[in-house]
Copies of this chain bind each other. A is one copy, B any other.
Amino acid sequence: MSSERAEEGRPAVVLVSGGLDSAVTLAIARARGFRAHALSFDYGQRHRVELEAAARVAQALGAARHVVLRIDLRAFGGSALTDDLEVPKGRAEAELASGIPITYVPARNTIFLSFALGWAEVLGARDLFLGVNALDYSGYPDCRPEFVLAFERLANLATKAGVEGHALRVHAPLIDWTKARIIREGVDLGVDFAATISCYDPDPTGGACGGCDACALRRRGFAEAGLADPTRYAST
């Protein structure tokens, strides 16, 4: 996991949001020997401090390069993460796994993976890594295994490499892991979770609200893993 290895290995593109899940995903890609190209998006999200976290994570885990692409999802609107709608707080745990939440961003993972695919094609990379999780975010259509498989199939039809028979793979190693397992695996791989931020509605200094869905899932994960949560919460 040392950064000296950043220039070695086969290239891969890893989507890195600055959150806990994508940090562990990047650590896994590095542990599997890939030369990781970290990709983040400045998409008009409310929680832009996550981009600073993404840069910290990419650096700490030895990414060969980190690119932040600016795209304007606000042009379409439609989500509490990009609009001025209120982020829901203090929802019961049963609510977390039901329905499509207001924080869902239309076609977000499809858009992010499409750019990752473009970069992979330029790099000659055949591996994309994505930190989606179907357990915690069952309400998001684009966090499900069938979505990941459908994108992999598309990638192999959409690209030069795929057409020429070099199979592209979309890796989603966390897809069926509990948050507690994600955290434990991350600790084993040397991920410093203090560098990550999960909150949908952080304060300007990166302090987590403690009450949104993402904070709730993170806190429960650390509790279930039996590990101390290094997050700085505004409320407890």
Residue-wise interface mask of A (71-89) relative to B, using a CB-CB cutoff of 8 A (1 in contact, 0 not): 1110111100000000000
Question: Residue A121 contacts which of B69, B107, B113, B150 (CB distance < 8 angstroms)?
Answer: B107
Q: Is A122 an interface position by the 8 A CB rule?
A: yes
Q: Is A141 an interface position by the 8 A CB rule?
A: yes
Q: Do A77 and B122 form a contact, CB below 8 Å, given A107-B158, A141-B157, A141-B162?
A: yes
Contact across chains for A107 and B75 when beta carbons are under 8 A apart: no
Question: Residue A154 contacts which of B76, B147, B160 (CB distance < 8 angstroms)?
Answer: B147
Category for how many chain A residues contact B: 35 or more
Closest beta carbon of chain B to A138's beta carbon, Å:
11
Residues of chain B lying within 8 A (CB to CB) of residue A76: 67, 118-119, 122
By secondary structure, the A interface counts as: helix
Contact across chains for A69 and B67 when beta carbons are under 8 A apart: no
The number of times this chain is found in the oligomer is 2
A71–B42 alpha-carbon span in the complex (Å): 11
Residues of chain B lying within 8 A (CB to CB) of residue A105: 118
Q: Is A56 an interface position by the 8 A CB rule?
A: no
Interface centre among A67, A70, A114, A159 (most CB of B within 10 A): A114
Contact across chains for A69 and B69 when beta carbons are under 8 A apart: no
A140–B154 alpha-carbon span in the complex (Å): 14
Contact across chains for B151 and A154 when beta carbons are under 8 A apart: yes
Contact across chains for A141 and B159 when beta carbons are under 8 A apart: yes
Closest beta carbon of chain B to A113's beta carbon, Å:
8
Contact across chains for A111 and B115 when beta carbons are under 8 A apart: yes
Q: Is A142 an interface position by the 8 A CB rule?
A: yes
Contact across chains for B78 and A122 when beta carbons are under 8 A apart: yes
Residues of chain B lying within 8 A (CB to CB) of residue A69: 71-72, 75
Show 10 residue pairs from A and B whose CB-CB distance is below 8 angstroms, ordered by the A residue.
Answer: A67-B76, A76-B119, A105-B118, A107-B117, A110-B114, A110-B118, A110-B158, A111-B114, A111-B115, A146-B157
Interface residues of A (CB under 8 A from B): 67, 69-73, 75-78, 100, 104-111, 113-115, 117-119, 121-122, 141-142, 144, 146-147, 150-151, 153-155, 157-160, 162-163
